[in-house]
Amino acid sequence: SQELEQSPQSLIVQEGKNLTINCTSSKTLYGLYWYKQKYGEGLIFLMMLQKGGEEKSHEKITAKLDEKKQQSSLHITASQPSHAGIYLCGADRPRDSNYQLIWGAGTKLIIKP
């Protein structure tokens, strides 16, 4: 199994509806990043969470970090076609390990008009 599990793998949502994507780690989370990717393109940074209980918002996207559950959730309110894409979570490895981010496999979001 992967160190970072994203759920669901894909999601089809009616425009205007709310949705939630989860990212669960099998190890302690030190820093959690959310990125969005349009098909075949690079990743765009959305937000970074570092402390347990931290919550950040950017326009209609809100992300939270639950340190105890080793989980982060990304919530989109009143979804729009522009929200469609692949959402990836990444997490810092512990500081006594090598320098790198680990990544989830992504959640593909489709918005139905």
Interface positions with another protein (CB under 8 A): 2, 4, 30-31, 33, 35, 40-45, 48, 50, 88, 90, 92, 95, 98-106
Nearest to 30 by CA among 82, 70, 85: 70
Whichever of 66 and 92 has its CB closer to another protein, that residue is: 92
Whichever of 85 and 90 has its CB closer to another protein, that residue is: 90
Whichever of 43 and 111 has its CB closer to another protein, that residue is: 43
Beta-sheet pairing, 107-112 with 10-14: parallel
Q: Do 24 and 71 contact (CB within 8 A), yes or no?
A: yes
* Burial class of residue 38 in the structure, from the number of CB atoms within 10 Å of its CB (0-12 exposed, 13-18 middle, 19+ buried): exposed
Least distance in angstroms from the C-beta of 16 to another protein: 29
Least distance in angstroms from the C-beta of 18 to another protein: 26
As beta bridge partners, residue 44 has 36
Alpha-carbon distance of 92 to 30, in angstroms, equals: 6
Least distance in angstroms from the C-beta of 54 to another protein: 14
Whichever of 39 and 113 has its CB closer to another protein, that residue is: 39
